[in-house]
A and B are shown apart, each in its own frame.
Chain A
């Protein structure tokens, strides 16, 4: 006599226990502290904050610990948490020109006001595994004190602006409020503000591949890194009772301005066009990829044919979210046996060529 499979609930509870064990690993090894993750795995924390859309290094570190280091799982935890938070308001637009710079480079000029500040970067290291790191050592030697930039350093883009060489972005008529993708769904065609939000939250790997494709001839705009800056910016909020903006704290961001070959037309003089990228923390790869894709998606408004995938709004923006992608891909693990049964029956009938039985 066949006994139907039961015990789904017990299996789930057991799986939680196994997961806890796996997360902890070998109990003889000291447990990871959230502060350790926050301090020593900062770039992982930065990615989780950027795609999780919450600036809170401690929460991101906790999420990474709970997620056993899986960035997408950690991002999921952070986003789900964010969805429960009350919304206090919108801050003023960040003024990145008054950033307290830790790093600032430009590939378009050898030197520029404010200088090229190398800062903490992997860029000029040799990628040789450093086995000395395997030992728990003391703190490294402090670096030579970097000159603190106290003056706001204008962006390279502003310099080109002075000559009128680079396209201006005037706000649309009436300066409408940008849409908020965390509140209302994306519609197509999407305005640039919505596209930038989508890209900022978008999966770094996906954007990297899309950005890469624009460099390999799948698009026609040759990019230059106009400026990349990383540092701390103030966040200001207008308190209702006060009526003026008040600084509520600082966050670290990475900003990238890509400058692309001009788009001229018979009625407009040639200019440089732009792509923009912004991410929390020190996330250059993300900001740069985002800027490349931003520019590619502007194909329509710049009169370019949208021929390659990175230029297609619906393709890029519908597939950029790591949670949507991960969820749907992995949902294939869910039971699908009823649909499979229906398909099985269909295929059997088609092979038999039998006339169809009507339902009772």
Chain B
């Protein structure tokens, strides 16, 4: 493939006098996981929203490689096209699973919803596929009829992942997917994400403040500070040999066991 899956150039977003995202550019290739790392206020979540079609930038372009029509400018698409893309080609994993799930319906319905939205009309098959995905995210398929209200944080997050992956998207946006979970739960979840991104395969942009998440999941990473991308490159290189002073600060502040 000669063109990237996602390409952003000059992406800028301002709120009044404050510039939240300042001339950020990146390219993402199929099957590649990129981490966007920064502290709070760095603009990383705003950037994620701009890249995923949720927030129109004030300047710059975001282009996505559609399945049949080549590279397209996201913000030139109609609302219908954008929503369809969000349901088929993309996934979005929220930091808080409650935002990405329907808490009032069963786990099975949560996972099956995208299939039904795309026209699946066989209850047995929808249910079967939902159960398969529960297994793939290491959940007990017998809990398929339970409401997520009874699930732990880690389980809700797994459910959210399954709900997103059921249509085999090519690109998943993740906003701090493991924050707020217990450390051991985080570790398991990261393992799951790692194996899913490798096996499916899946391209992903993962926003995180945690360098360990970047190290474990991402092929490449970008460091953000005050809205600018100060450094980017292969994850191992950036973490082992940081060039920019801010990156050096980040890396050195990570507590060593």
Contact = CB atoms under 8 A, between A and B. Distances in A.
B67 interface: no
Nearest to B18: A266
Interface size class of A (residues with CB under 8 A): under 10
Interface of A: 265-267
Interface of B: 15-18
Contacts of A265: 16
Contacts of A266: 15-18
B247 to A, nearest CB: 29
A265 B18 CA distance: 11
Contacts of B18: 266
Helix, strand, loop or mixed for chain A's interface? loop
B131 to A, nearest CB: 23
Closest 7 CB pairs of A and B: A266-B16, A267-B16, A266-B17, A265-B16, A267-B17, A266-B18, A266-B15
Nearest to B15: A266
Contacts of B17: 266-267
Contacts of B16: 265-267
Contacts of B15: 266
A359 B209 CA distance: 61
Nearest to A267: B16
B16 to A, nearest CB: 4
Contacts of A267: 16-17
A266 B18 CA distance: 8
Nearest to B17: A266
B144 to A, nearest CB: 20
B246 to A, nearest CB: 25
A48 B144 CA distance: 55
B15 to A, nearest CB: 8
A323 B16 CA distance: 44
A266 B172 CA distance: 34
B79 to A, nearest CB: 16
A354 B54 CA distance: 49
Nearest to A268: B16
A222 B65 CA distance: 50
7 contacts: A265-B16, A266-B15, A266-B16, A266-B17, A266-B18, A267-B16, A267-B17
A275 to B, nearest CB: 25
A265 B14 CA distance: 13
Nearest to A265: B16
A329 B48 CA distance: 46
A336 B211 CA distance: 63
A356 to B, nearest CB: 15
A266 B15 CA distance: 9
B129 to A, nearest CB: 26
B20 to A, nearest CB: 12
B118 to A, nearest CB: 28
A187 B39 CA distance: 42
A266 B16 CA distance: 6
A195 B16 CA distance: 28
A267 B18 CA distance: 10
A262 B17 CA distance: 19
Nearest to A266: B16
A267 B15 CA distance: 9
B9 to A, nearest CB: 27
A267 B14 CA distance: 12
A267 B17 CA distance: 7
B202 to A, nearest CB: 34
A114 B18 CA distance: 45
B226 to A, nearest CB: 16
A265 B17 CA distance: 10
A189 to B, nearest CB: 16
A231 B17 CA distance: 46
